[in-house]
């Protein structure tokens, strides 16, 4: 098997009106049958790059993808789910349900009602008015069951679904309350698709520096990051290239042998 990453670009609103361009990583595996599996599907703004890179790097068409695994339900991680019509979509039910509740409130009542909803949930890190406004914008533009892949077969991780036996879900709660990572037993290396539990290699040096997003559970996030610090192999972070945990060096080949 081979694996490799694709970067798509997500546009993050800023106070000065000039969006921040965030690179979002999708990790692709091509198995021995020449079918594909993808972990996180990147930005909804940049589906074309995902499709083009699948073809040029991995010789895959969207219909060749058999599974989509989502680490969590944020638009920069599930923005291409709908592209893969033949795939089973694997995600956390609890993460989806919380996001779906947020979407309903956002679409029906706007930012003020969203803030009330979040206050009732007693989140550990308070949303600002700007956070709520940005969330409403994202929900209006990107939230629908069709875009999340619910026209396909959806498998919820809490149900312990049948998935390829070399892929093991790991609870890595904190970035969202029900964030998952995925361990892949490769022939040459252990692979950890960490999503935003470890969004980039700098997190391993100082997890506390990442406590800047409104939905996070700080204590669980730090505990998760410290537990992952002890893993040896290759990390596939949410917003950085794959890297070796022993020396933090990036993996040069793309794709590379698993």
- Beta-carbon contacts of 96 under 8 Å, excluding residues fewer than 6 positions away, are 73, 148, 156
DSSP 67-89: EEE-SS--HHHHTTGGG-TTPEE
Sign of CA pseudo-dihedral 202, 207, 212, 217: positive
Residues in the chain where the model's pLDDT stays below 70: 123-126, 209-215
HEC string of 136-158 equals HHHHHHHCCHHHHCCCCCEEEHH
Residue 186, SS3?
A: coil
**pLDDT of 12:** 82
CA gap 99, 93 in Å, rounded = 10
**pLDDT of 123:** 67
**pLDDT of 131:** 85
CA gap 200, 179 in Å, rounded = 16
Q: How far is CA 95 from CA 71, 127, 130, 253, in A?
A: 9, 18, 22, 33
**pLDDT of 111:** 93
Q: Select from 44, 30, 45, 40 the least CA-distant residue to 6.
A: 40
């Amino acid at each position: 098997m081979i694996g490799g990453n694709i970067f798509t670009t997500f546009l993050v609103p800023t106070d000065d009106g000039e969006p921040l361009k965030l690179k979002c990583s999708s990790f692709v595996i091509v198995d021995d049958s020449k079918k594909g599996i993808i972990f996180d599907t990147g930005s909804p703004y940049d589906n074309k790059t995902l499709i083009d890179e699948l073809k040029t790097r991995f010789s895959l068409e969207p219909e060749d993808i058999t599974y989509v695994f989502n680490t969590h339900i944020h638009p920069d991680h599930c923005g291409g789910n709908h592209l893969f019509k033949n795939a089973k979509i694997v995600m956390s039910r609890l993460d989806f349900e919380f996001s779906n509740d947020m979407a309903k409130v956002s679409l029906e009542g706007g930012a003020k009602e969203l803030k009330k909803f979040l206050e009732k949930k007693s989140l550990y890190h308070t949303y600002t008015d700007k956070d709520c406004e940005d969330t409403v914008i994202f929900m209006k533009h990107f939230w629908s069951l069709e875009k999340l892949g619910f026209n396909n077969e959806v498998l919820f991780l809490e149900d312990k679904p049948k998935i390829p036996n070399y892929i093991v879900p790991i609870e890595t709660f904190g970035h969202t309350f029900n964030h998952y990572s995925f361990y892949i037993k490769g022939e040459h290396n252990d692979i950890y698709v960490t999503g935003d539990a470890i969004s980039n290699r700098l997190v391993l040096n100082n997890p506390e520096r990442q406590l800047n997003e409104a939905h996070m559970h700080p204590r669980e996030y730090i505990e998760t990051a410290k537990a992952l610090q002890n893993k040896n192999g290759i990390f596939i972070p949410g917003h950085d290239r794959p890297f070796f945990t022993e020396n933090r060096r990036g993996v040069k080949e793309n794709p590379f042998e698993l």
